[in-house]
Amino acid sequence: MVRAFTTLTFTDAVRAAQVMRGSRDFCSALELKSENRLLDERSASFIAECDSFMIGTASREGWPHVQHRGGPKGFLRIIDPTTLAFADFSGNRQYISVGNLSENDRIFIFILDYHQQQRMKIWGRAAVVEDDDALIALVGDPHYGSKAERVILINVEAWDFNCRQHIPKR
Protein backbone atom coordinates (compact mmCIF):
# COMPACT_ATOMS: atom_id res chain seq x y z
CA MET A 1 0.00 0.00 0.00
CA VAL A 2 1.36 3.43 -0.92
CA ARG A 3 0.90 6.20 1.62
CA ALA A 4 -1.91 8.49 0.44
CA PHE A 5 -0.18 11.83 0.97
CA THR A 6 2.94 10.70 -0.92
CA THR A 7 0.75 9.73 -3.88
CA LEU A 8 -0.49 13.32 -3.99
CA THR A 9 2.77 15.12 -3.23
CA PHE A 10 5.68 12.99 -4.50
CA THR A 11 5.44 13.98 -8.15
CA ASP A 12 8.17 13.07 -10.64
CA ALA A 13 9.78 16.47 -10.02
CA VAL A 14 9.70 15.95 -6.24
CA ARG A 15 11.22 12.47 -6.57
CA ALA A 16 13.96 13.90 -8.81
CA ALA A 17 14.71 16.57 -6.18
CA GLN A 18 14.88 13.84 -3.52
CA VAL A 19 17.35 11.84 -5.63
CA MET A 20 19.49 14.92 -6.31
CA ARG A 21 19.59 15.84 -2.61
CA GLY A 22 20.07 12.33 -1.21
CA SER A 23 16.73 11.77 0.55
CA ARG A 24 15.05 9.45 -1.95
CA ASP A 25 15.78 6.24 0.01
CA PHE A 26 14.23 7.73 3.16
CA CYS A 27 11.23 9.03 1.21
CA SER A 28 10.80 5.74 -0.61
CA ALA A 29 10.46 3.99 2.75
CA LEU A 30 8.04 6.68 3.90
CA GLU A 31 5.78 5.88 0.94
CA LEU A 32 5.29 2.35 2.24
CA LYS A 33 4.05 3.26 5.73
CA SER A 34 0.35 3.23 6.60
CA GLU A 35 -1.96 4.94 4.15
CA ASN A 36 -3.40 7.75 6.34
CA ARG A 37 -6.57 8.34 4.40
CA LEU A 38 -9.15 7.50 7.07
CA LEU A 39 -9.08 9.77 10.10
CA ASP A 40 -8.12 7.68 13.11
CA GLU A 41 -8.30 8.22 16.88
CA ARG A 42 -5.02 10.17 17.04
CA SER A 43 -5.99 12.54 14.20
CA ALA A 44 -9.52 12.94 15.59
CA SER A 45 -8.18 13.86 19.01
CA PHE A 46 -5.76 16.40 17.53
CA ILE A 47 -8.45 17.96 15.33
CA ALA A 48 -10.92 18.17 18.26
CA GLU A 49 -8.47 20.39 20.16
CA CYS A 50 -7.89 22.73 17.21
CA ASP A 51 -9.10 26.32 17.41
CA SER A 52 -7.04 27.65 14.52
CA PHE A 53 -5.61 26.43 11.23
CA MET A 54 -4.40 27.59 7.85
CA ILE A 55 -6.41 26.80 4.73
CA GLY A 56 -4.73 26.62 1.35
CA THR A 57 -6.59 26.89 -1.94
CA ALA A 58 -5.57 27.77 -5.49
CA SER A 59 -7.26 29.55 -8.35
CA ARG A 60 -8.00 27.79 -11.63
CA GLU A 61 -4.72 29.28 -12.91
CA GLY A 62 -2.85 27.68 -10.00
CA TRP A 63 -2.16 30.80 -7.93
CA PRO A 64 -2.03 29.70 -4.28
CA HIS A 65 -3.79 31.45 -1.43
CA VAL A 66 -3.34 30.74 2.27
CA GLN A 67 -5.81 32.06 4.81
CA HIS A 68 -6.20 31.66 8.56
CA ARG A 69 -9.38 30.19 9.98
CA GLY A 70 -10.18 30.36 13.68
CA GLY A 71 -13.08 29.64 15.95
CA PRO A 72 -14.00 27.87 19.14
CA LYS A 73 -12.03 24.76 20.00
CA GLY A 74 -13.32 21.89 17.90
CA PHE A 75 -14.88 24.04 15.18
CA LEU A 76 -13.13 21.85 12.59
CA ARG A 77 -15.45 18.87 12.91
CA ILE A 78 -15.13 15.27 11.86
CA ILE A 79 -18.33 14.19 10.12
CA ASP A 80 -17.08 10.66 9.37
CA PRO A 81 -13.63 9.03 8.85
CA THR A 82 -13.19 10.72 5.44
CA THR A 83 -15.14 13.96 5.90
CA LEU A 84 -14.40 17.19 7.75
CA ALA A 85 -16.45 20.37 7.92
CA PHE A 86 -16.12 23.80 9.43
CA ALA A 87 -18.34 26.83 9.77
CA ASP A 88 -16.96 29.65 7.66
CA PHE A 89 -17.48 32.68 9.87
CA SER A 90 -17.83 36.20 8.53
CA GLY A 91 -14.43 37.79 7.99
CA ASN A 92 -12.66 40.18 5.65
CA ARG A 93 -15.31 39.74 2.94
CA GLN A 94 -12.77 39.15 0.16
CA TYR A 95 -14.03 35.57 -0.51
CA ILE A 96 -10.77 34.44 -2.10
CA SER A 97 -10.96 30.93 -0.62
CA VAL A 98 -14.65 30.60 -1.51
CA GLY A 99 -13.99 31.85 -5.04
CA ASN A 100 -11.01 29.56 -5.51
CA LEU A 101 -13.01 26.55 -4.33
CA SER A 102 -15.74 27.34 -6.86
CA GLU A 103 -13.30 26.63 -9.71
CA ASN A 104 -10.70 24.35 -8.07
CA ASP A 105 -11.94 22.05 -5.30
CA ARG A 106 -8.49 21.12 -3.97
CA ILE A 107 -7.88 22.22 -0.39
CA PHE A 108 -5.08 21.91 2.12
CA ILE A 109 -5.46 22.30 5.88
CA PHE A 110 -2.40 22.95 8.05
CA ILE A 111 -2.88 22.68 11.80
CA LEU A 112 0.00 23.80 13.99
CA ASP A 113 -0.02 23.26 17.75
CA TYR A 114 2.89 25.23 19.20
CA HIS A 115 2.29 24.00 22.75
CA GLN A 116 2.56 20.31 21.79
CA GLN A 117 5.03 21.07 18.97
CA GLN A 118 2.94 19.10 16.48
CA ARG A 119 1.61 19.78 13.03
CA MET A 120 -0.92 17.97 10.92
CA LYS A 121 -1.42 18.31 7.18
CA ILE A 122 -4.69 17.41 5.48
CA TRP A 123 -5.23 17.21 1.70
CA GLY A 124 -8.70 16.98 0.25
CA ARG A 125 -11.41 18.26 -2.02
CA ALA A 126 -13.90 20.76 -0.72
CA ALA A 127 -17.37 22.03 -1.41
CA VAL A 128 -18.77 25.34 -0.26
CA VAL A 129 -22.23 24.71 1.18
CA GLU A 130 -24.53 27.73 1.40
CA ASP A 131 -28.08 27.92 2.72
CA ASP A 132 -28.08 24.57 4.54
CA ASP A 133 -29.37 25.48 7.98
CA ALA A 134 -29.14 21.91 9.29
CA LEU A 135 -25.46 21.60 8.33
CA ILE A 136 -24.66 25.06 9.69
CA ALA A 137 -26.35 24.08 12.96
CA LEU A 138 -24.34 20.84 13.05
CA VAL A 139 -20.94 22.51 12.69
CA GLY A 140 -21.66 26.00 14.00
CA ASP A 141 -21.55 27.27 17.56
CA PRO A 142 -24.41 29.55 18.62
CA HIS A 143 -22.30 30.83 21.55
CA TYR A 144 -19.40 31.95 19.37
CA GLY A 145 -19.29 35.67 18.68
CA SER A 146 -19.42 35.46 14.89
CA LYS A 147 -22.05 34.29 12.43
CA ALA A 148 -21.46 31.16 10.34
CA GLU A 149 -22.11 32.26 6.76
CA ARG A 150 -21.57 28.88 5.12
CA VAL A 151 -19.93 25.50 5.66
CA ILE A 152 -16.82 24.19 3.97
CA LEU A 153 -17.20 20.42 3.56
CA ILE A 154 -13.95 18.52 2.96
CA ASN A 155 -13.52 15.03 1.52
CA VAL A 156 -10.18 13.96 3.01
CA GLU A 157 -7.85 12.34 0.48
CA ALA A 158 -4.79 12.14 2.76
CA TRP A 159 -3.39 13.40 6.04
CA ASP A 160 -0.10 13.25 7.87
CA PHE A 161 1.57 14.32 11.07
CA ASN A 162 5.11 15.26 10.35
CA CYS A 163 8.36 16.32 11.92
CA ARG A 164 8.34 18.44 15.08
CA GLN A 165 11.69 19.91 14.18
CA HIS A 166 11.87 23.70 14.26
CA ILE A 167 8.42 24.23 15.86
CA PRO A 168 9.01 26.69 18.69
CA LYS A 169 7.37 25.74 21.98
CA ARG A 170 4.88 28.42 23.04
- pLDDT interval class at 57 (50, 70, 90): very high
pLDDT at residue 3 greater than cutoff 80: no
What mean pLDDT is predicted for residues 154-159? 94
Most confident of 55-59, 69-73, 147-151: 55-59
Cα 75 to Cα 169: distance, rounded to the nearest angstrom: 23
- Quick one: which of 148, 156, 140, 74 has its CA closest to 107? 156
Q: Which CATH number fits domain 37-162: 3.40.50.300, 2.30.110.10, 3.30.750.24, 1.10.150.20?
A: 2.30.110.10
Tens of pLDDT, residues 85-134 = 999 887 778 889 999 999 999 999 999 988 888 999 999 999 999 989 89
* Domain layout of the chain by residue ranges: 1-35, 37-162
pLDDT at residue 125 in the model:
97
DSSP string, 100-111: HHHH--EEEEEE
Q: What was the pLDDT predicted at 2?
A: 59
Mean pLDDT of the chain: 89
